[in-house]
């Protein structure tokens, strides 16, 4: 029975290694899972060999390998499982965002797979009503993709739609769990930040701008990448007035764009 049990444990650990290799992308979590299972396999396989072979005392190093590999493998596997858990929690948060959106599937923008302008205004009213009941402000970010018309003219509408779609995925990943991303119009996105003051909204806007600036969009099979740029306007309001918040965010965005254009034209060393 010892031979069957130990041989079966070795076979199962080896099959888990094969399943992980065939189903997971490379990365730290996969490395930890693989490392732990390899050590466990080595320990169980050595234990199996001890049952079916008899080595001289001078070559009997298997017990030392088994005593080290098994606990070390369990520790490494536990680290991998903990990181896998965190990975799944992050994925779950993204799925919860998607679920809330797909319940109103008729309001989805099918190019970007996020809510459209009508969905934005509905959610903005809900967010402001909830924030007002808790005496907290609501913030709205408007993100405008710089030179998108030129990109569309040069690379075509299909690549433009793909850029908008992938940019939406990027923004979704960089927003917080309760934030809501929508396509406002054309190459503009809107992000509702519930219960968020002006200072926190500015921090989120800065993070999104950095994420977009470091996003390498690959054009077809080309090795070269296009690095988009974005301008973001922000507005914060405490009272229940979604229209006023939207207007303030638009004014902020237009001011930021004029500021950017003036800065680029004058080639000054100080931003306006």
Domain ranges of the chain: 2-100, 107-266
pLDDT at 56 over 60: no
| Average pLDDT of the segment spanning 209-229 | 86
Compute the half-sphere exposure of residue 210: CA atoms within 13 Å on the CB side of its CA. Answer: 8
Token pair belonging to 165: 């779609």
CA torsion, points 191, 196, 198, 203, in degrees to nearest 10?
A: -70
| Average pLDDT of the segment spanning 143-165 | 91
Token pair belonging to 7: 């041989």
Domain 107-266 has what CATH class?
Answer: alpha beta
The residues, any chain, with a CB within 8 Å of residue 132's CB and separated by 6 or more, are: 238, 239, 240
Token pair belonging to 231: 């301008």
Q: pLDDT band at 268, cuts 50/70/90?
A: very low
pLDDT at 142 over 80: yes
Q: Which of 23-27, 58-62, 196-200, 253-257 has the lowest mean pLDDT?
A: 58-62
Q: If we measure between CA atoms, which residue out of 191, 145, 159, 197 comes closest to residue 172?
A: 191
Q: pLDDT band at 94, cuts 50/70/90?
A: low
pLDDT at 202 over 90: yes
The mean pLDDT value of the chain amounts to 82
Higher pLDDT, 220 or 101: 220
Decide: 134 and 178 in contact? Cβ < 8 Å: no
């Amino acid at each position: 029975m010892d031979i069957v049990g130990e041989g079966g444990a070795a076979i199962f650990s080896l099959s888990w290694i094969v399943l992980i290799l065939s189903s997971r992308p490379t990365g730290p979590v996969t490395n930890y899972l693989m490392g732990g299972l390899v050590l466990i396999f080595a320990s169980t396989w050595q234990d199996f060999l001890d049952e079916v072979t008899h080595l001289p005392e001078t070559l009997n190093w298997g017990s030392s390998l088994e005593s080290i590999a098994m606990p070390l493998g369990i520790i490494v596997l536990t680290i991998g499982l903990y990181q896998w858990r965190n990975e799944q929690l992050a994925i779950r948060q993204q799925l919860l965002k998607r679920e809330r959106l797909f319940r109103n599937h008729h309001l989805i923008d099918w190019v970007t797979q996020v809510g459209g302008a009508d969905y934005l205004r509905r959610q903005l009213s809900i967010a402001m009503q909830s924030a007002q009941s808790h005496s907290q402000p609501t913030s709205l970010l408007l993100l405008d993709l710089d030179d998108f018309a030129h990109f569309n003219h040069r690379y075509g509408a299909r690549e433009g739609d793909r850029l908008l779609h992938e940019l939406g995925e990027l923004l979704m990943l960089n927003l917080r769990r309760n934030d809501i991303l929508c396509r406002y119009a054309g190459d503009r996105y809107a992000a509702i930040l519930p219960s968020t003051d002006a200072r926190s909204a500015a921090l989120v806007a800065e993070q999104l701008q950095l994420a977009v600036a470091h996003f390498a969009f690959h054009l077809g099979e080309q090795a070269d990448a296009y690095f988009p740029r974005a301008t973001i306007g922000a507005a914060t309001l405490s009272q229940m007035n979604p229209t006023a918040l939207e207007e303030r965010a638009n004014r902020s965005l237009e001011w930021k764009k004029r500021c950017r254009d003036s800065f680029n034209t004058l080639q000054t060393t100080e931003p306006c």
